[in-house]
Amino acid sequence: MNKLSVALLLARVSWVAILLALAVGALSGSWKLALIAAIPLLLVYAGPLKGDKKGNQWAAFAVTPYFMYGVTEQVENLMVPGVEPSLMPLVFWLGGATLFIAAMMHSRWQAELDVKAAEAGQ
């Protein structure tokens, strides 16, 4: 496996992990809120799933609210007494960070390959 396919695989796995975390949240809480929260991820599916360069750039930035939510919830779980710990914030912030990094690296490496292919074609 080359670095381009590893980055795309990591982007796909983290994208699906965040969607599954939203689905689990919908089962235990408000499904309407989870559906609204899933809209940004569903709009940028072309990046992680199809390997689209521009789609991955958009996915990297669309995932930042999930990352911020996960970090703040994880800090609350660890710092505030009496709050029941949960794994969902960990999924959001680790998945968000992984998706951001993997999607950006995939789009960068794909752009480099496109430039090399264009130079070779001239």
CB 109 within 8 A of CB 4: yes
pLDDT digits (tens, 9 = 90+) for 83-102: 787 888 999 999 999 999 99
Alpha helices, DSSP H, located in the chain: 3-28, 31-43, 46-50, 53-62, 64-79, 88-121
Check residue 34 and report its DSSP letter: H
Residue 20, number of CB atoms within 10 A of its CB: 12
Domain residues of the chain, as ranges? 3-121
Between CA 17 and CA 120 the distance in angstroms is 38
Q: The whole model's pTM is what?
A: 0.88
pLDDT digits (tens, 9 = 90+) for 25-55: 888 878 888 889 899 999 998 889 998 899 9
